[in-house]
Structure 1
Amino acid sequence: MLGGGDGTVGASPQAQSPPAAEDVRAQLEILLASPDLDASARARRFLRYVVEETLAGRAERIKAYAIGTEVFERNADFDAQGDPVVRIEAGRLRRALERYYLSGGTLDPVVITIPKGGYVPHFAWRVPPVEEAHPVPAAPAAVSPGPPIDPPLRRRTPWLVAVPVAIAFLALLGGMLLWGPWRDGASRTPQAAAAFPPGGPTLVVMPFEALGEPSAKIYADGVTEEVLSQFARFKEISVLGRETSRSIPPGADAARIRRDLGVRYMLEGSVRAAAQRLRITGRLLDAQTGVVLWSQTNDEDLQVRDLFTIQDDVARKVVTAVAQPYGIIQRADGTRTGSRPPDDLEAYACTLRFYDYRAALSEENHAANRACLERAVALHPDYATAWAMLSVLYLDEDRFGFNPRAGSSTPIQRSLDAARRAIRLDPENVRALQALMMALFFDQKPTEALEVGERAVELNPNDTELLGAFGTCLSQAGAWQRGSELIEQALARNPGHSGYYSGVLAVYAYMQHDYARAETLIRQAALEKFPLYHFVAAVIYAQLGKASEAAEARDQFLRMRPTIFEHWDDEMAKRNYRPEDAAHYAEGARKAGFPVPARTAAETALEASASPH
């Protein structure tokens, strides 16, 4: 699978040696002191313990039992196999570290990760401690399928132009029209750059470099083409066209590309072919600073998978990691919006904060994000993405009970109006289609809603925000199997947003009467500020006979949503639950001590269908 060995986000391939102990300890203190590390006090103790043990040369002692007894203060009879506390906490810590290095820690010099499959941390440089002003290209190495292959140096971009005659002609023509300044040393900003939407991220995909055997050229061209095709699905990012990308000459300087094309980001990569094996590397650079924001490598065997499957899979993974709503570009932009012009800053920053709200699902963030987006659409009434996000926030007034407003228009009607306006502005905007799907679903039009969802997924099957929302609608409508499969896909592509996904999967496990798995998943979700998280946790614990934990979750939910049981049947109906699923919820809710009606509409319907006519 795609991953730079240990999955380190942004780790630089240039570092000649791992960070020294003092560098790691300095980074550890930065992490533990940072509010951007979303980790509990226990997780921070966990991190300090495994780092210090590793630096002390005791990595072989870092086992679940040792962590359970020395960090979590379990008794000497602690059963690491039966009690999943260490595994669960390790998963949360891994995700917290990943989110940190994609947000507040984007410029930290040392990257600390905990690779899956163990608890021993890995230390790596994000960028080299000393950088040469003019790095010298390394001599070509002999091609070998065995030892690791280093990616090209960061500031060296010897890209090749496509081989087919028609493509070469278009590239040459594009170069003559657009890149004439490179021949005479002049510099200008092309008209294409001026057409970019204000405030949004812009990117150029450089042709992937071919290394090794001559066949690598074909593979590199194919990967480049597939990456460009899949980037076109993401409306929030502006990507330069194929001819422009191909016309960029070999060795073009990143700073000059930014100046002449007006792009903020560059995606570059290489394909090395050797003895039926491919190593495909991709890297995202900030064209303004030259910093590597992300880098991953994929090793493939052409005897195991065919070329077209490999190209599609690699391109999907690269584009999803970089461009999806919780991806590298959105995170990187989110940390630097302060440099944008004030008028554009407000509107664009609102859309970035929408994804932060969706990750945490708290009432406080809802109110602030709603107000921000309302200001944005007032200033920019043609901003389709902002209208779509506002539609979701209006819907959340109803489905989550967040900051409801009184008035003649209901939250669902306002949600529908905003979503339809977004669709009119941009009929293929995936966020707008997602918003319309959700609004229709809660307007109790599930058939129409799922049709819109199918169209949105067809437009962009890589958008994890969309996959999560569509999977949830499918599940609640009774298509639990397909819904959970989409949620699993979203989770695999976007583990940093795992809380929401784990919560939906916990509901699926509950409906399948797999309460043990449901418990594991709901503990992984840990959405403490999200009311429905506590309800789901309570019914799961109640079914397992864990009375004290069920009571704690029940009381927390009732503090947050005390009146929901006065409208229990309406709440189940608007979520389009099948009668058997709604009745199963009612059964667990009664066991947890919730004031569910003595006879719900779903139970009445089930009895009527079971009785002879």
Structure 2
Amino acid sequence: MEEFDCPARVREELSRVLQSDHFHATPKRRAMLTFLIEEALAGRADTLKGYAIGLAVFGRDENFDPQSDPIVRLEARRLRHDLDSYYIAEGARNPIRISIPKGQYAPKFHDNLASVTARDGSTTGNDETAGSHVPEEVNASPRSVRTSSRLPWLVAGGAVLFALLVLGAAVVMLFQPAQQVRLEASQPSVMVLPFSVTSTDPEQQILAAGIAEQIMTALSRFPDFRIFWPPSGRKVGETFDPVEIGRQENVAFLISGSVASEGEIVRVGAKLVHSPSKRVLWSGSYDRKRSRTTLLEIEKSIASEIATVAGQPYGVIKSELASNLPAGGEPSNDSFECVLRGYVYRRNFSRQLHAKVQECLNRAVKRDPDYVEAWAMLGWLYLDSARFGLAAEGDKELAFDSALDAASHALSLDGNNILALKALSSINHYMGNIEEGERLAKKALDLNPNDPDTLAQLGWRLAVVGKFEEGIPYLEKAIERTRNAPGWYFHLIAINHLLNGRYAEMLTAAKKGVLDGSGVSWCLVAIAQSKLGNKAAARAALEKMAEVSPGLGRDPGTFLRSHQASEQIVSSLTAGLKEAGWTTPAGQ
């Protein structure tokens, strides 16, 4: 390729790359790419050293030592892989190609049209027959490029594409740090197979390939998954045996499906298979009316739903993994297992699990200091030490500081990590920074609108301070998208029913919460049973509340205010508890 020197068109190409769904770089690596290109275009390519990049992109201070802190080298290596993967697939026919040669940080810009033309054997004149070989227009939208360039791959390019991707992945793995290789090896492996079709209709072929691609894109927004392309030689429209492919490729979880149509109805079926056990963990069917929406909207909406079912924190895959965790909860040498135990703990905030999970995560961040999710989950555990009274007397503020440090460090590693944003949102909320907590929760939702836990976090954050009209729909949407939702998803919904005099509905929501053993859920059950005239059931629930949550049993007002609950919520719950038979404990 010849080097290309035209700043305006280079910036056009940068914009094209950053807007593409097929460019899978993290926000930090996107910022790094932008910085490198702008510095090079400004004539400062020779100043692009690790120290300068660490300060400008990764927030390091003047004491930053690139030799002892390898963040820039690691992220540059991953950025090269992101670019290579993009230009192998969607960007293959872009007019310009951006690269970052190994051993340096200064980017290079190449004229990609000549190589594409030579590769295709097309002409550059006005020959009308050359139209099928002409690259996409420079100003074409990412979606239009992706759609129109997909069909040639379906016909002939799948094997070549896969081979190049495997080669690129192998090179990256070869040079990854040992701790990164070890960590990734323990994370769940997922493969999305091309969906089968029964028709030769090109639209169905495109939809089948597109859904698989969109599922992979949506899954990539959830942490801790290793996502694999299907094996070479497989074509869109084929029927696959997921268990056999999982065995051959050493992949644990496989998503497959089919596309069909009946008149104006597009019907998509999907299933998630656990290859080692040969079990179908989930299956679903989706119907969409073609006349009401476009093919791309159908593709994206169905893929988002499938990825949500599979990838969310309390989704099918992590629930399956959690159900097979070793008993005992002793600190593990597997850092991913420590994060998974954190999710298990956060279903019901068990006091018995807290110390073991926190110890496990502390060991994880020492063993794998760049593991963002471990730092973020550790922030949650320190926060719980403070907000649930688990810290030693006088150490509450220290626990808050430790929580803030851990979550902030996670964001310094990846400024748009969803789990870190949610942790920092909650920490700010409990430290009294209500508006900042809301802002961070909304940012997390913007980055991954398919995550029900993010929806629930934002909904809870809004409703607990009295913004029920805004918060309750988020909670309801989170519950709708989650199989076996955690109990705390229902707390503010039950309280909203109480404030509106809907006591039967309140009891239903509260009972769904007690499945996780929450003291707040038992509090809400006691109030609802009392309102419905079931005094014996109310007293039994009060006893369970005091047993599970001593702080709530001793002083409900202080407990609720510590969660930043509005005075309306505090007064209504306190009055309801007294009506149910609660009295101030003796000697208090």
Q: Which category of TM-score, normalised to the shorter sequence, fits these structures?
A: 0.5 to 0.7
How far has the Cα of 1:449 moved from its partner?
0.4
2:354 to 355, 366, 370: 366
Shift in alpha-carbon separation, 1:223–1:258, aligned structure 2, 3 A: closer
Task: Indicate whether 1:331 and 2:319 are aligned.
Answer: yes
| 2:429 match | 441
Which letter maps to 1:275? G
Judge conservation of contact 1:203–1:264 (CA < 8 Å) in 2: yes
2:234 to 249, 261, 265: 249
How far has the Cα of 1:270 moved from its partner?
1.8
Shift in alpha-carbon separation, 1:572–1:433, aligned structure 2, 3 A: same
1:386 to 374, 377, 402: 374
Structure 2 length-normalised TM: 0.64
Aligned equivalents of 1:581, 1:293: Cα separation in 2: 40
- 1:439-588 matches, cutoff 5 A: 439-497=427-485, 499-527=487-515, 529-564=517-552, 570-588=558-576
Secondary structure of 1:239's aligned partner: strand
Secondary structure of 1:299's aligned partner: strand
Structure 1 length-normalised TM: 0.61
How far has the Cα of 1:179 moved from its partner?
6.3
Judge conservation of contact 1:227–1:315 (CA < 8 Å) in 2: yes
1:432 to 415, 420, 435: 420
How far has the Cα of 1:533 moved from its partner?
1.8
| 1:420 match | 408
How far has the Cα of 1:435 moved from its partner?
0.7
Aligned equivalents of 1:505, 1:190: Cα separation in 2: 49
Secondary structure of 2:271's aligned partner: strand
Aligned equivalents of 1:371, 1:287: Cα separation in 2: 32
Aligned equivalents of 1:415, 1:169: Cα separation in 2: 52
1:216 to 175, 184, 204: 204
> How well do the aligned residues superpose, as a CA RMSD in angstroms?
3.5
Judge conservation of contact 2:545–2:552 (CA < 8 Å) in 1: no
| Percentage of pairs with the same residue | 26
Which letter maps to 1:249? R
1:356 to 326, 344, 350: 344
Shift in alpha-carbon separation, 1:282–1:420, aligned structure 2, 3 A: same
How far has the Cα of 1:298 moved from its partner?
2.1
Aligned equivalents of 2:552, 2:224: Cα separation in 1: 36
Structure 2 unpaired stretches of 5+: 1-147
Shift in alpha-carbon separation, 1:415–1:275, aligned structure 2, 3 A: same
Judge conservation of contact 2:304–2:450 (CA < 8 Å) in 1: yes
Task: Indicate whether 1:231 and 2:222 are aligned.
Answer: no
Which letter maps to 1:379? R
Deviations 1:245-299 (A, max 9, x none): 5955337886896688664333222211232222212233345566544332223
Shift in alpha-carbon separation, 1:464–1:445, aligned structure 2, 3 A: same
Secondary structure of 1:410's aligned partner: helix
Aligned equivalents of 2:166, 2:411: Cα separation in 1: 36
Aligned equivalents of 1:177, 1:255: Cα separation in 2: 25
Aligned equivalents of 2:214, 2:516: Cα separation in 1: 40
Structure 1 unpaired stretches of 5+: 1-160, 181-187, 598-613
Which letter maps to 2:191? V
Aligned equivalents of 1:258, 1:516: Cα separation in 2: 47
Shift in alpha-carbon separation, 1:468–1:178, aligned structure 2, 3 A: closer
Judge conservation of contact 2:465–2:565 (CA < 8 Å) in 1: yes
Aligned equivalents of 1:229, 1:451: Cα separation in 2: 25
- 1:42-53 matches, cutoff 5 A: none
Which letter maps to 2:387? R
| 2:170 match | 190
Judge conservation of contact 2:487–2:518 (CA < 8 Å) in 1: no
Deviations 1:304-343 (A, max 9, x none): 55534432321122111111112222233345567xxx99
Which letter maps to 1:327? G
How far has the Cα of 1:561 moved from its partner?
4.0
| 2:73 match | none
Which letter maps to 1:494? T
1:589 to 577, 582, 588: 577
Judge conservation of contact 1:391–1:419 (CA < 8 Å) in 2: yes
Aligned equivalents of 1:521, 1:331: Cα separation in 2: 22
| 2:57 match | none
Shift in alpha-carbon separation, 1:407–1:366, aligned structure 2, 3 A: same
Deviations 1:387-440 (A, max 9, x none): 222222222233334x33345443322222221122112222211111111111
Higher helix share: 2
Shift in alpha-carbon separation, 1:319–1:515, aligned structure 2, 3 A: same
Judge conservation of contact 1:213–1:272 (CA < 8 Å) in 2: no
Secondary structure of 2:186's aligned partner: coil
Shift in alpha-carbon separation, 1:192–1:551, aligned structure 2, 3 A: same
Q: When the two structures are aligned, how many residues end up with a matched partner?
A: 423
Aligned equivalents of 2:545, 2:325: Cα separation in 1: 36
Aligned equivalents of 1:565, 1:256: Cα separation in 2: 54
